[in-house]
Amino acid sequence: MRVAGAIDIGGTSTKIGIVVEDGSILARDTVATSLHGEPITVVDAIVSILRPMLDAATADGRVLAGIGVSVAGFLKPDRSAMIHNANLPALRDFPLRHALEQQLSIECRLEVDSNAAVIAEYQHGAGRGSTRLLGVTVGTGLGGGVIIDGALLRYTGECAGDIGHIIVARNGRLCTCGARGCLEAMVNSASLSERAGGRSVREIVSSARDGDERAQKALAETGWWLGLGLASLSPLFSPDRIVVGGGISSAGDLLLGPAQASYRTHVRPEFRETTQLVGSRFNGWDGIVGAASLFLSPVA
């Protein structure tokens, strides 16, 4: 049985695991992402968790194909380093692939996190069978990847561009990119937290499920903005399916229901019947499944 190590580096936390060819996760863990200071500290933290996982997986006779790395931000054309992400300054222009290979002594491959997430959905998740798939991940930021007829759309930063930075609110929140009213700024974890009185995403989701009205309203408003943004993106990519993933998607229908209603209200009429808006089935772990696919079942 072939497996791959997988790393998903986000603006707040980094997910680490071992993934099997069928997309199942054999082992997993999370570590906080160091946003400032020396980038090698990020690598050291990852390696300290991943190496014992790799040793355990290979000790059981599994074949290790390599280490796939999903990282938030634009990549260099040779996919050796991340070159831009306002939410992850520590790793900009750092030779991440080389640093990981040096410590782990096995081939590593980098992918944009939004691409990794949409690959996971396309191969093993809610995007299976789609011919024009748009996947968005909502967490510290908002990223998106596009697969058309089985091929990834790449044109800016080795991905579909920074689609979270379309402007949806003229007087909206200030975004980390420097603009105001970006889709990302209106739906990310920080905006959700503000709407719910400073609570964490996990606390908000839990409270909303228990009937907390303020938490429910915070998720509904976030979903409204998300639906508006996805309606704005639909004429660009003409998706037959949109999959919403990332940490905030763990709210399920509390987020997705308002997003679907907002999408139908705002989208061009031709997309109301032809485009499905669905939630991820990975509970935020889509990034490592997609990262592992770089070795187990790559998408061009």
From first to last of its 300 residues, the chain has per-residue pLDDT tens of 899 999 999 888 999 999 999 999 999 999 998 767 789 999 999 999 999 999 999 998 999 999 999 998 899 999 999 998 877 888 999 999 999 999 999 999 999 999 999 999 999 999 999 999 999 999 999 999 999 999 999 989 999 999 999 999 999 999 999 999 999 999 999 999 999 999 999 999 999 999 999 999 999 999 999 999 999 999 999 999 999 998 899 999 999 999 999 999 999 999 999 999 999 989 889 999 999 999 999 887
The predicted pLDDT at position 12 comes to 84
The predicted pLDDT at position 233 comes to 98
Report the distance separating Cα 104 and Cα 121, nearest Å.
28
Give 172-195 as a DSSP string.
-PBPTTS-BSBHHHHHSHHHHHHH
Residue 248: inside a domain: yes
Looking at the structure of the chain, the number of domains it has is 2
Residue 105: inside a domain: yes
Which CATH number is 25's domain given? Answer: 3.30.420.40
Verify that 153 and 192 share a domain, yes or no: yes
Report the distance separating Cα 2 and Cα 4, nearest Å.
7
Verify that 70 and 47 share a domain, yes or no: yes
Verify that 111 and 160 share a domain, yes or no: no
Report the distance separating Cα 130 and Cα 121, nearest Å.
10
- Helix pair angle (253-266, 213-237), 10° resolution: 50
Verify that 69 and 146 share a domain, yes or no: no
Report the distance separating Cα 287 and Cα 237, nearest Å.
22
Verify that 108 and 209 share a domain, yes or no: no
Instruction: Please compute, for residue 65, the number of CA atoms within 13 A of its CA located in the half-sphere on the CB side.
Output: 19
Residue 85: inside a domain: yes
Verify that 200 and 232 share a domain, yes or no: yes
Verify that 185 and 45 share a domain, yes or no: no
1 CB-near residues (< 8 Å, 6+ apart)? 20, 21, 61, 62, 63
Q: pTM, whole model, 2 decimals?
A: 0.93
The predicted pLDDT at position 18 comes to 98
Verify that 156 and 235 share a domain, yes or no: yes
Verify that 145 and 275 share a domain, yes or no: yes
**Three-state SS for 130?**
coil
The predicted pLDDT at position 54 comes to 97
Count H helices and E strands in the chain, helices first: 10, 12
Q: Quick one: DSSP state of residue 62?
A: P
The predicted pLDDT at position 37 comes to 72
Report the distance separating Cα 232 and Cα 228, nearest Å.
6
Angle at 70 between CA 67 and CA 73, to 5 degrees: 145
Segments forming the whole domain that contains residue 8: 2-116+285-296
7 CB-near residues (< 8 Å, 6+ apart)? 14, 15, 16, 46, 50, 67, 68, 69, 70, 100, 288, 291
The predicted pLDDT at position 243 comes to 98
Residue 123: inside a domain: no
The predicted pLDDT at position 11 comes to 83
Verify that 136 and 268 share a domain, yes or no: yes
Verify that 31 and 90 share a domain, yes or no: yes
Residue 121: inside a domain: no
Verify that 71 and 89 share a domain, yes or no: yes
